[in-house]
Structure 1
Amino acid sequence: MLRRIIGAALATACAAGLTVASSSTPASAAGSCTLTAPSRVSIWKPYQAITLKASGACTTGGSAAWELVHPTYGLENIAYFDGTSTDTWDLYDWDDIGKQTWRPAGAYDSAYNSLTQNSPVSDIRYYGAAWISTSRSSSVVTLNGTSLVYSPDTGGFVRRPYAVGVFQYREIGSTVWRNLKQVTTNSNGVVTLRYTYAPTRDYRFATYSTSTVWDVGSATSRR
């Protein structure tokens, strides 16, 4: 909350500073300033320093700002470039997740001409993880899948119950993965599948994306 309050204050200050600057010289269309931000963001540890990049006339003696806005909770962060092309997005595991938009908050070139800005979207979700273990008894293959997810409460990964996923197989020598069976993990985040198949195959376990967790695939196990 404190970071958001500070961010809001900075945003106001930046906007005020840009307004004063623009009032000294008539504004005119002079190009654009573009923010490059990751579209898919995974929370997998307590803190991450994510590099944001700006390009255009705002980076050579000008300035630009974007506000990261959550559709429900409002202002989350701010990116500010004062004659620079990079800024650091401080992402914490307690930050709100979901699709958030970097809204333009003013951009100017070195002559204080107003610049157009883009509005990229960053989709923030928790990082999922998946494990697979396999065994064989004659022609019966046993596949064990485990689903995990990052938890901000523990600062690490925990078992993910009732995760929907799929066991996949790949024939030896092939690069194509095919679905074997869609499954759901139990209350402990584990699921087991047994089936009869004599030839050797590669197997993996994957879980699907949800509104809060990104999709992920396990390593490969040959059996």
Structure 2
Amino acid sequence: MFEEFKRVGDNFPDPTNLASPLVTTVARTPDNAPRRPLVNVGGWLYSSLLARGTAPGATHLFLPRTPMPKRALAVAAASLLPLSLLAAPSAQAAPSCNISTPSKVAITQPYRAIKATFSSGCLSYAETASRDLMHPAYGYTGSFWFDGGSTDVYDFYDWEPVGVYSVRPDGAYDYDWDELAQNTRTMTIKYGSRQYISSSRSGSTVTIAGTTTRYSPRAGTYAALSGQRVYLQSRACSTCAWKPVTSTTTNRYGKVTFKRTSSTARYWRLKTVDSSNTFGRTSATSRR
């Protein structure tokens, strides 16, 4: 049996030409040797040639003088064994290189490090991999890179746009430069907010006051949030379900005031919901 290896895309030399710079031989191929179909193995083509007139069990091997991938060498070695000794490989899932990122990121200061974690498939199989961070309006803003470590950090600054980012594949390759599958993630990046509450009682009248602030890139800290709708919720006991009471919007100073009538003490809290650029927040609980 003769084995001949050729790189896909190369000019294939005649294996019977011993002067070829790409082929080294340990035996000459007979001109009448029938050739089996070429098979693509990791970017290399190989074929088995059955020599006629050779002694039973005689083995001859053609190898390229240029380096061969480990995978091709393994195929060459296996081809020299009797078929009866070759066990069928067990079915295995194709390796992949996946990434985990936080689903929500609150911007509460001028700089935020956003950490991504790579899967065990990256650590076991990948030579290199990358993911692009894509904003729905502004497009590409940066990347996560895999270079052998288990994590990578994207440096997010408060002047960058907020929104729902797509963390999409940009290519992952193993040590033979075969492509690995990658997953896609999304990250919702918005400004953080705070909700304060205070309360007082005068007879059966309860006054609940609140202040809403949001991180401001211009100020570099939290600032009053005007025009924000704030919801008042109440419950009768510490384990009872919260029930909506009423709502109003903040003034120019981010403040709201509610007055309610209650002859017995109740639990109160204030809540805002997410907007297009700000995460909502729920206040602490006040009992009056």
Length-normalised TM-score, structure 2: 0.65
Instruction: Give unmatched runs, 5+ long, in structure 1.
Output: 1-24
CA drift at 1:26: 3.4
> What is the aligned-residue identity percentage?
38
CA drift at 1:109: 2.5
Task: Answer 1 or 2: higher relative contact order, Cα 8 Å, separation at least 6.
Answer: 1
1:162-181 correspondence runs (5 A): 162-181=227-246
Q: 1:26 aligns with which of 31, 43, 52?
A: 43
What amino acid does structure 1 have at the position aligned with 2:224? R
Instruction: Give unmatched runs, 5+ long, in structure 2.
Output: 1-41, 45-92
Could you say which structure has the higher helix fraction?
A: 1
Q: 1:147 aligns with which of 191, 212, 216?
A: 212
Q: How far apart in 2 are the matches of 1:135 and 1:221?
A: 9
Q: Which residue does 2:103 correspond to in 1?
A: 39
Q: Which residue does 1:55 correspond to in 2?
A: 119
Q: Which residue does 2:38 correspond to in 1?
A: none
Instruction: Identify which range, 164-173 or 79-88, moves more after superposition.
Output: 164-173
- CA deviation map 1:111-149 (0-9, x unaligned): 332111111011111001100110000100001111110
- CA deviation map 1:140-192 (0-9, x unaligned): 00011111100011111000001012011122232422111122112221111
Q: 2:138 aligns with which of 60, 67, 73?
A: 73
What amino acid does structure 2 have at the position aligned with 1:58? C
Q: Which residue does 1:115 correspond to in 2?
A: 180
Q: Does 1:184 align with 2:249?
A: yes
What amino acid does structure 2 have at the position aligned with 1:85? S
What amino acid does structure 2 have at the position aligned with 1:154? A
Aligned residues: 198
CA drift at 1:61: 5.2
Question: Does structure 2 retain, via aligned residues, the 8 Å contact 1:170–1:178?
Answer: yes
Q: 2:163 aligns with which of 89, 98, 122?
A: 98
Question: Does structure 1 retain, via aligned residues, the 8 Å contact 2:230–2:247?
Answer: yes
Question: Does structure 1 retain, via aligned residues, the 8 Å contact 2:98–2:121?
Answer: no
Q: Considering only aligned residues, what root-mean-square deviation do their CA atoms show, in Å?
A: 1.7
